[in-house]
Structure 1
Amino acid sequence: MSRKTNVAKSQTGRKAVAAGAVHVPAPGEGKRGEQGYLGYLLRQAHAAVRLTMERTLADLGVTSPQFAVLTMLNAYPGLSGADVARLTFLTPQTVSVIIRNLERDGAIVMTPHPIHGRIQQWTLTPRGATLLKTCRQRVLELEKRLARNLDSKAETTIRRWLAGIAAELQED
């Protein structure tokens, strides 16, 4: 049994379904909206935030993962690469590349652990702190945009809910 599909060729040579095409909902519609699974909606929101952040930081030569690494090293100086990977939800291999690039650019510096000399600890340099400050100003604008329709009580509730999800599901 064969199924016939109406297909038209575009000018670029790609095939496009001319009739019977499925409507792909935009964000906020159908299962991509309030009817969707919470996990999917969280992932969709994360993807949108990450893309916007990438665009916001692109001219500084900083990616979202690099921003996360700089942020965690600023908050917790002296972290090992493994600690950074856990805190940023990145693989150790990815963090290794990010750390190598940030070190090459003079944004971070390595010092050996005072007891376990084989463990490398990372801290921001003054250049890294300045870069992070510039990035953070832009990211705070994005955060304001995310929360613009929330009052402080709603924002606190959402922050508590999101942090609670991470804490609760960490046990699984």
Structure 2
Amino acid sequence: MMHKPASITKSKPERRASGEEVAVRVPAPGEGKRGEQGYLGYLLRQAHAAVRLKMERTLADLGVTSPQFAVLTMLNAYPGLSGADVARLTFLTPQTVGVIIRNLERDGAIVMTPHPVHGRIQQWTLTPRGSTLLKACRERVIGLEKRLASSLDAKAEASIRRWLANVATELQED
């Protein structure tokens, strides 16, 4: 594996007109390359990180993580999914989903039923406790969603939703 030269990987201090060196200032979100001049992929990742952190904090006192919320949401929308299906839909690794499923099952939020045709495939569905937990999570997440869209009119929100869905569709085909 090739290594990048130190001149590329290390921050260089800035020099003032007086010749004095000052540390490089990392831009805040919305500034420089972290703002409108940034790469779209980076901006999407930055936005995702901000939303996930806010969601983690919003759901923490319910004892639910952002990935657990995603799993509960998908099992509610598509009851009877296998762990592999859940992993694909939530963008999590099968190993991570396995841990989440074990924890949600232990807590009584989901239950496993064998697949009617393929006996080795386990299907997962929400229990009444899981539905109640998801409802509590949703109330909080809806507040976050409203905050995300607060500066958008209905047409702009629809356009952004369509663009994001198209990004996923178009790039998946490559």
Structure 1 length normalisation: TM-score?
Answer: 0.89
Which residue in the other structure is 2:54 paired with?
52
Matched, 1:37 2:39: yes
Alpha-carbon distance in 1 for matches of 2:131, 2:172: 31
Which residue in the other structure is 1:25 paired with?
27
The CA deviation string for residues 57-95 of structure 1, in whole angstroms up to 9 with x for no partner, is: 000000000000000000000000000000000000000
Which residue in the other structure is 2:141 paired with?
139
| Equivalent residues in 2 for 1:82-101, closer than 5 Å | 82-101=84-103
Unmatched 5+ stretches in structure 2 = 1-11, 14-19
Structure 2 counterpart of 1:62, one-letter code: V
Aligned residues: 157
Unmatched 5+ stretches in structure 1 = 7-17
Structure 1 counterpart of 2:73, one-letter code: T
| Equivalent residues in 2 for 1:115-134, closer than 5 Å | 115-134=117-136
| 1:106 counterpart (99, 108, 120) | 108
The CA deviation string for residues 85-143 of structure 1, in whole angstroms up to 9 with x for no partner, is: 00000000000000000000000000000000100000000000000000000000000
Alpha-carbon distance in 1 for matches of 2:36, 2:46: 12
Residue 171 of structure 1: how far off its partner (Å): 0.9
Alpha-carbon distance in 1 for matches of 2:88, 2:29: 30
The SS at the match of 2:151 is coil
Q: CA RMSD in A?
A: 1.4
| 1:73 counterpart (69, 72, 75) | 75
Alpha-carbon distance in 2 for matches of 1:88, 1:60: 20
Alpha-carbon distance in 1 for matches of 2:89, 2:122: 16
Structure 1 counterpart of 2:158, one-letter code: T
The SS at the match of 2:28 is coil
Structure 2 counterpart of 1:26, one-letter code: A
Residue 20 of structure 1: how far off its partner (Å): 1.5
Structure 2 counterpart of 1:85, one-letter code: A
| 1:151 counterpart (150, 153, 161) | 153
